[in-house]
């Protein structure tokens, strides 16, 4: 399953709830304001890295928020085409 999170973890509990309910084999895509969770060295970056999920971050949203260069491994920064591929690969999806 693909979980797509669009709210900042600093203003919403969506990401925390997603992490609580997502199966270990699910993939998580951070878009819009949720990309702030992937900032290197941040509290949420550490939680996401420890979750065991494969985490993707949408590049256009990182750039739009001035965060380029602040998102590093273990997250994969992806283009819009990769986003489309993710949605095609996952029959079931959950938006948070």
Predicted local confidence at residue 24, as pLDDT: 86
Q: What is the pTM of this model?
A: 0.94
- Residues with Cβ within 8 Å of 87's Cβ and at least 6 positions away in sequence, in order, are 2, 93
As averages over each run of 10 residues, the pLDDT of the chain (96 residues) reads 96 96 94 96 91 95 95 91 95 94
Predicted local confidence at residue 7, as pLDDT: 97
Q: Which DSSP string corresponds to 37-57? A: GGBTTSHHHHHHHHT--EEEE
Predicted local confidence at residue 9, as pLDDT: 96
Domains, the chain, in order of start with CATH, read 2-95 (3.40.1260.10)
To the nearest 5 percent, what fractions of the chain are helix, strand and coil? 40, 20, 40
Predicted local confidence at residue 28, as pLDDT: 97
């Amino acid at each position: 399953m693909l979980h797509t999170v669009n709210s900042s973890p600093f203003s919403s509990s969506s990401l925390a709830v997603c992490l609580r309910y997502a199966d270990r084999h699910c993939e998580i895509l951070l878009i819009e304001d949720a990309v702030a969770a992937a900032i290197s060295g941040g509290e949420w970056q550490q939680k996401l890295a420890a979750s065991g999920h494969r985490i993707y971050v949408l590049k256009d949203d990182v750039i739009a928020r001035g965060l380029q260069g602040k998102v590093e491994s273990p997250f994969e920064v992806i283009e819009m085409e990769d986003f489309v591929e993710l949605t095609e690969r996952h029959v079931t999806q959950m938006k948070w």
